[in-house]
Structure 1
Amino acid sequence: MIRLHRCTAIDLPTLTKISRETFVTAFEKDNNPDDFAVYVAKAFSSKTLKEQLEDPDTLFYFVYDEHDVLVGYVKINQNNAQTELKEPTSVELERIYVLQQYQGKNIGSELLRKVIELASALKKKTLWLGVWEHNPRAIRFYERHGFVKFGEHPYFIGNDEQTDWLMGLQLN
């Protein structure tokens, strides 16, 4: 059983650390080192994350396991904080990461169910996300949970233009 903790400014150092660690572990090997370094330095800087934490439409949550160990985090965007749709009836799951040593323990599925509950509690009709087209494991994960592709958008890692699939889930 996992537990979510809504992040605040006090959590900034830990949020910065886990954000960098999970992203680097997941994607460093698949990207140009120079472009990747530029992206990580900006996207996961304390300054950038602090600004996002201060935005009432951006919600970060730490994920703790049954032993109260930090195992991951999520980032959810509403309203104008969304990177694409920006519809009041939708919510974006921008980041969902589980630390590598805790993967394969069904935490991701449990976490996604919690995110769906959060989105429903926010009275949203659609939960959507962007997933890299070259990440078949993640695509299959979202498809297993009912997400369907509805579009694409460009995503830049430094100067490297990549393509994310936009996938959505209709909520009750």
Structure 2
Amino acid sequence: MIKIREATIEDIHTLSDIGIETYRDHFSDIWTPSGMQHFLSEDFSVLALQESIGAPARHCWLIALDEDDRAVGFSKVNWSKPMPISGKAGAELQKIYFLKTQAAKGYGKQLLQFIRQLAEDRKEHFIWLDVLKTNASARRFYEGFGFEVLGEIPFSTDKTEIGMVVMCCDISR
């Protein structure tokens, strides 16, 4: 069981560290080393995190803690963000990552249920996300929560063209 709470300014260095570690663990094969470093310095820099955490009306950073209060994962949700393909606005699940040592413990399900409740409380009508076309296990995970594939959008790194699958879950029912 994990504890989930909204991240604060005091969590910035923890989010930066865990974001860099988890992103490298999951995606180092799709970037060159310099491309990866550039992406991480843009996405998980202290300045970028400060700006994002400082805008709670637009973004919500969540931190997942184990029973010893150690950070084991995190998530970023963007509120009322237009979805590719349809343009309709909903809650975008932009990031949800856990340390590799914490995989297969059910933590992702707990965090996704928490996010769904937050989105419902904010009167968002759906949650959407994009996932790498090559990540079949992530797609199956989201399909288990009622997400459906809406289509594909382009995505490339400095190393390869991959593409993303856009998925959506209606929570207004």
Give the TM-score, by structure 1 length.
0.88
2:47 maps to what in 1?
A: 47
- Give the aligned residue type for 2:110: E
How far, CA to CA, are the matches of 2:26 and 2:97 in structure 1? 9
2:107 maps to what in 1?
A: 107
Identity in percent: 30
1:135 aligns with 2:122: no
Displacement, 1:158? 4.2
The SS at the match of 1:42 is: helix
Displacement, 1:60? 0.2
How far, CA to CA, are the matches of 2:6 and 2:70 in structure 1? 15
2:32 touches 2:159 (CA, 8 Å); kept in 1? Answer: no
How far, CA to CA, are the matches of 2:42 and 2:161 in structure 1? 16
Displacement, 1:86? 6.6
How far, CA to CA, are the matches of 1:94 and 1:48 in structure 2? 15
TM-superposition CA deviations, 1:33-82 (whole Å, max 9, x none): 332222122222112222111223111010113343321000000135x6
- What is the alpha-carbon root mean square deviation over aligned residues? 2.0
1:65 maps to what in 2?
A: 66
How far, CA to CA, are the matches of 2:73 and 2:163 in structure 1? 25
Q: Number of residue pairs matched?
A: 170
How far, CA to CA, are the matches of 1:161 and 1:54 in structure 2? 33
2:19 maps to what in 1?
A: 19
2:30 touches 2:159 (CA, 8 Å); kept in 1? Answer: no
How far, CA to CA, are the matches of 2:49 and 2:20 in structure 1? 11
Displacement, 1:8? 1.6
1:124 maps to what in 2?
A: 124
2:79 maps to what in 1?
A: 78
Give the TM-score, by structure 2 length.
0.87
How far, CA to CA, are the matches of 2:87 and 2:47 in structure 1? 24
TM-superposition CA deviations, 1:92-145 (whole Å, max 9, x none): 000001111111111111211111111111111101101011111111111122
2:92 touches 2:129 (CA, 8 Å); kept in 1? Answer: yes
How far, CA to CA, are the matches of 1:129 and 1:32 in structure 2? 25
